[in-house]
Amino acid sequence: MKKITLQLIADELGVSKALVSKALSNDPAVNDVTKETIWAKAEEMGYRMKSSRKTIPASRTGNLAVLMPRAYLDDMEYWGKVIHGIEKELANHSFSMILSSIEISLSPKDGLPSSIYEKKVDGAIVMGHLPDSYIQALAATDFPYVMVDANLLDSSIDHVLANNFLGAYQATNHLLESGHVKLGFVGDADTSWSFRERSRGFEEAIRDFNRKSTSSATAVTIEGVGVSGTGMYVADEFAKGLSRFVKADQPVTALFCANDLTAFESLKLLGDWGISCPGDISVIGFDDLTLTEIMSPKLTTVRVPKADIGSRAAQMILRRIEKPDVTPEHVLLSTQLIKRASVAILDNV
C-alpha cells in the first residue's frame, strides 16, 4: 500500500509541503480554515496523525445558524439540496448546522432564533428573501453572516447565487436558435433578484439576436406569478394574461418561465385549454426540479448547482469568521441548460 507523505497531501490540495507540515503540527501561523482543510484531506488519504487534531477555539461554539423564511419549507426539493451542501461542507470543518425557519411576519426581535442573540452560534447563512429589518438586526449585532440567493444588493455583504442572467440568456438563445421569434417571459420580475436577472437575460438575448439577425424577434411579459418571502404565489390575473398571448391571432410560440414552478403552472393551464407542448407552444423552466425529468413532455430547463451553492456559502461564512475584515465576495456559480422534449424546432430553421 502506497505510503501517504506530506508531499502527496500537498499535491492533492495544490499547496506547499511546508504549509501541510505546519498545519498538521498545529502551527498557529496557519489559519483555522486552512488547517481544517488539510487535516480533513490527510485523514481522507489515510495519513497517520502524530498529534491530536486542533479543536475549535474555546471562544467559538462550533455551531452555524442557517436562517430561511418558513414558507421555503414548502420547496424543500430546491432548498433541501442547498442545505445538504452547507451541512456537508461544515462537517468537513467540524462545525454543526442549526436550521431555523423564520416567520417573517414577526419582528426581528421575535423572529430571529435565540441562538443569535445569545451567541450560541458563530455565524449565520441567510437563505432567500428575509425582510431588510432582519438583515439590519443581524448587522447591528456585529454578527458574521453571508447571503444565499437574496434580494439584498449590498456590496459589503458576502453573497453567493447562481448566474441567473447567463442561464436565462442561454435558454432564450436556445428558443431563438430553434426558430421561435414570438416569445413570452412568464413571471413577475420584481418579486426577487433572481427573477429580475432571468428577465434581464431573456431581454438581452433577444436584443442581441435582433442586432445580429436579418429576422426580428418580439417578446411579451406575462405577469401574475412569482416568489417572495411568503413562498410561491399565483395571482388571479395570471391565467387571463397567459390566455391573451397564447390564444391570439399570432400567438407566442415559446415561453421562458422564471422558474420550474412557474412553468408547471403555465403547462397546467395550457393543458386545460387544449394547447399542447411542444406541438403548439414550447416551454423552458429554470432550476431543474425532479419533476422536470419525469413529466410529459420532459421539461427543458436550466440546472442550478444547488448543493454547490450551499457548499460555497459554508466556505464563505467560515472565511468571514476567521477573517472578519476580509474583502466581501459576491460569487456567481454557473448554471447548465438541460435540453429535453418541451422545445420544438420550427420548420423555418
* Alpha-helical segments (H) within the chain: 6-13, 17-24, 32-45, 76-91, 108-111, 114-117, 132-140, 164-177, 193-212, 237-246, 260-272, 291-294, 306-322
What are the two backbone dihedrals, phi and then psi, of residue 106, each rounded to the nearest 5 degrees? -85, 160
Scanning the structure block, which residue is given the C-alpha cell 414577526?
A: 106
Q: State the pairing for strand pair 225-228/231-234.
A: antiparallel
Q: Are 306 and 81 in contact (CB under 8 A)?
A: yes
Q: At 198, list the grid cell.
A: 432571468
Calculate the dihedral angle through the C-alpha atoms of 258, 259, 264, 266, rounding to the nearest 10 degrees: 0
Instruction: For the chain, 349 residues long, give each residue's pLDDT as a single digit of tens.
Output: 567 888 888 898 999 988 888 888 777 677 777 887 888 888 888 887 654 444 556 567 889 999 999 988 888 889 999 999 999 999 888 899 999 999 999 999 999 998 888 888 999 999 998 888 998 888 888 789 999 998 877 889 999 999 999 999 999 999 999 999 999 999 999 998 999 999 999 999 999 999 999 889 999 999 999 988 788 899 999 999 999 999 998 999 999 999 999 999 999 999 999 999 999 999 999 999 999 999 999 999 999 999 999 999 999 999 999 889 999 999 999 999 999 999 999 986 5
Q: At 15, list the grid cell.
A: 499547496
Q: At 77, list the grid cell.
A: 426539493
Q: Are 125 and 79 in contact (CB under 8 A)?
A: no
Cβ neighbour number for residue 320 with a 10 Å cutoff: 20
Q: State the pairing for strand pair 218-222/182-186.
A: parallel
Q: Are 37 and 45 in contact (CB under 8 A)?
A: no
